[in-house]
Structure 1
Amino acid sequence: MATYVLLPGFWLGAWAWRSVTDELRGRGHDVHPLSLTGMGERVHLAGPETGLETHITDVLNLIRYEDLHDVVLVGHSYAGAVVVPGVADRMPERIARLVFIDSGPLPDGMSQAQFTPPEEQARNAELVRTVGHGWQLPPPPWEQLASGVPDLPAGTVERLTRLAVPQPWATATTPARLTGAWEKLPRLAVPCSFTAEQIRAMAATVPAFRHMAAEGWAYRELPGWHWPMFDRTEALATILHEAA
């Protein structure tokens, strides 16, 4: 039996991991999907001050108060980019392996917002200003994003539209603060939007991906949508099961 902590990306809560959680628990594992502050069923706790440090503390407290050890720490998208390395950097003795779902760790001093192209940064900032009350990034048009995705289970878009909530913008603009302790842990990348070969090439030339050029990385490709917990549930659960 392994112990998993599952962290969702922007706009989502623990509910997004429900099918993967069921699959892993069915295989005998201890699984802890987590809604970060202001997300999912904790949406009422969101505020302008909800930032990256808040979300890192959420995970540290879960591990501490549930007395979890040898954790397989799994982060999708935003959570993989900045929350997972932030947690592992501060509590490496409790972590067995890091798993990045269609994501990768950003370097010290870089924020999630800085990772996006300048035109997208400007567009998101304008959405925050005009629609998000100055501190929230609204969810994307899920129906548009899901257009053309094969084998997407019925009801997925409706569920995303109904349950996704605005992302506190400070979580995107707070820079990562890392010492490098997390880099001593085994790391698995599960790319969906790119191939492992493409990621290795980017790691050699793009500063934001430089951590992924280091030793200690394994790759398991899972081609498909950026949100594989919805369209590749069983395959993703199998990869996580084998990662342990």
Structure 2
Amino acid sequence: MSGFLGEFLGTMVLIVFGVGCGAGMSLKGSYAQKSNWTFVALAWGLAVTFGVYVAAAFGTQGHLNPAVTIGFAAFGFFPWKDVPGYLLGQFAGAFVGAVIVIIQYYPHFKAAKTAEDGNSVGIFATGPAIPNPLFNFLSETIATFFFIFSLLNLGNFTTGLKPLIVGLLIVVVGQTLGGTTGFAINPARDFAPRLAYAILPVPNKGGANWGYAWVPICGPIAGGLLAAGLQSLLV
């Protein structure tokens, strides 16, 4: 279970800030409701930045993302013995982070009677702008590939200002490649908040779109493996 606490707390911070951004810009009555895609990308980028700082303070490498952990481990950039603790921390932290956002915005969920009022799974999880399973999968694979390939060339990204650089990397991925699927690029970030929305008593909620849920799980893992595989060939 090495690494559980740091990855749990770091991923929780990531999801509170990131999903909180989704709730703030979507739910009826929120002051942030008129925000745009730049707002989303910046919020998620800063969410990752502070999540990495928190995780590093508790002694982990600040992956916060199963696609990073699995891709790194598959090609020798991270020890397999630490993978279970990291993965459990990431999924558990993402779930708890989503619960915190539900509590924070509970009156707004009650006020948002329909999806038109912003009350949908899109606050918690991603979905395609144009549904096409093959190309949605490829979009997540490509976005995650460039995220993790860049990450691998930052060295130790938990020190100094490097977490801010990671956050800016998230921003540029979101601004350039995220418009197709909402740039999950992280199975824990998508699955655990989607699960929280599905099983918890969120007022006036709709469906969780489980038919799409495999894409933001499998696409990022494929992208992470491809990025780490290429890196292992080049270094």
**Greater fraction strand:** 1
User: Which TM-score applies when normalising by structure 1?
Assistant: 0.31
Greater helix share, structure number: 2
Q: TM-score, normalised by structure 2?
A: 0.31
